[in-house]
Structure 1
């Protein structure tokens, strides 16, 4: 059998980081879940925005089997990686690019805006959080406190603006494993941990909604019995406010 010690080390490190997420974020998870619960009860929406690879958190939440149907991804090619990753890296550092993107989405004071940025200092994500605050939405950040403190160098951090901060615990540079005989590091963790944190908030909110006697708006996997009827009803409910359905 071929040994894979580096792969094992990476997975062990990732497992350890995920294992301590709750202890490190228990209060923030509870606050974020309560915000999502309030939003659901007010028939509001949960918007998710990130740039670069962090935009995948918005897609993770969107039309997700076992996920909340009230989530809306904020997507624009200029801040993503599929139509020009190099250009996107430039755009996410430019002031003013977020406002016209957000104009497409009717975010209101009853809504939650989740902004994801591992480094926590890019202009687009900080401006996104400021827009959410101005509107009166509850702004939740998923970020690395350690990375953002190193990267800030006097700049405003996403964590400074958000109402609630979920710390993914990723190291500066988002690489966890040293390559032998090299100064290079590999093994990013922010995506895996970010998805786990966000879904922890959603499952807690869904459980609270269900316990309160309401029906949590949850998509079913398309291959499960009854999924077609359940999902069609949810799409009919949210499509007028979600341009990506």
Structure 2
């Protein structure tokens, strides 16, 4: 841990805080990571797909897991433009707080009841859309894994259930309400979000553990190679061709 002095840079403080939160989450959430990995491995073993959804900035989790060097080929991101940031950041923020969008979003994907699994990411855990996506997945008999900040979810005044109340397995990123980790100066909002750095580490921990469980069970995990590695083009093309009909964004 960084010892804070008058000469410590703000960047050092931020990196130290990220390390602290990640270390706390890694220790406290390991049992949940292992449960989530078993759920994902079982999904892959029954020829299923892990769908990953997040709105606003949380959509980066879906992109991180998809078509990724060292990642599973059995992961489908749920990426609908209006709920991401590149079309309109303000509009996506409005939409994720509205009810009634989940079924339309999921209708773009060939989700198989009782076969596939869903991972939903929402740092605040209180917005309507990710909660509705989780509930819609459960109606389809999919196990639901959540990555969220339980402290943040409990601090908000939004009515209704929270994502951690709905999901079957919860990975708490241990980030504080508001997410930002560093005080810059008196009178200024805190800066330096931690939820992506910590949450993506938890996400990848689940995936690599699931792949290891598959291997230990005698299965051959479907893992993408980095495009710069020898034989990657042929290897990745074969995997993409296998899953093209089931993962729309390939």
TM over 0.5, shorter chain:
yes
Note if contact 2:24-2:174 (Cα within 8 Å) is conserved in structure 1: no
Note if contact 2:214-2:221 (Cα within 8 Å) is conserved in structure 1: yes
Query: In the alignment, which residue of structure 2 is the partner of 1:51?
Result: 55
CA deviations 1:4-37 (Å, max 9, x no partner) are 6100000001011112222111111111000111
Describe how 1:72-221 pairs up with structure 2 within 5 A: 72-108=76-112, 109-221=114-226
Number of residue pairs matched? 243
TM-score normalised to structure 1 length? 0.96
Q: 1:33 aligns with which of 27, 34, 37?
A: 37
Alpha-carbon separation, structure 2, partners of 1:239 and 1:100: 21
Alpha-carbon separation, structure 1, partners of 2:189 and 2:78: 33
Alpha-carbon separation, structure 2, partners of 1:77 and 1:191: 20
1:118 to partner: Cα distance: 0.1
Instruction: Say what the alpha-carbon RMSD is for the aligned residues.
Output: 1.1
Which aligned segments of 4 or more residues in structure 1 are displaced greater than 4 angstroms? Answer: none
| Structure 1 unpaired stretches of 5+ | none
Query: In the alignment, which residue of structure 1 is the partner of 2:3?
Result: none
CA deviations 1:106-133 (Å, max 9, x no partner) are 2222111000000001110010000011
Note if contact 1:47-1:73 (Cα within 8 Å) is conserved in structure 2: yes
| Structure 2 unpaired stretches of 5+ | 1-6
Provide closer, same or farther for how the CA distance between residues 8 and 63 of structure 1 changes in structure 2, counting only shifts above 3 A. same
Provide closer, same or farther for how the CA distance between residues 123 and 5 of structure 1 changes in structure 2, counting only shifts above 3 A. same
TM-score normalised to structure 2 length? 0.94
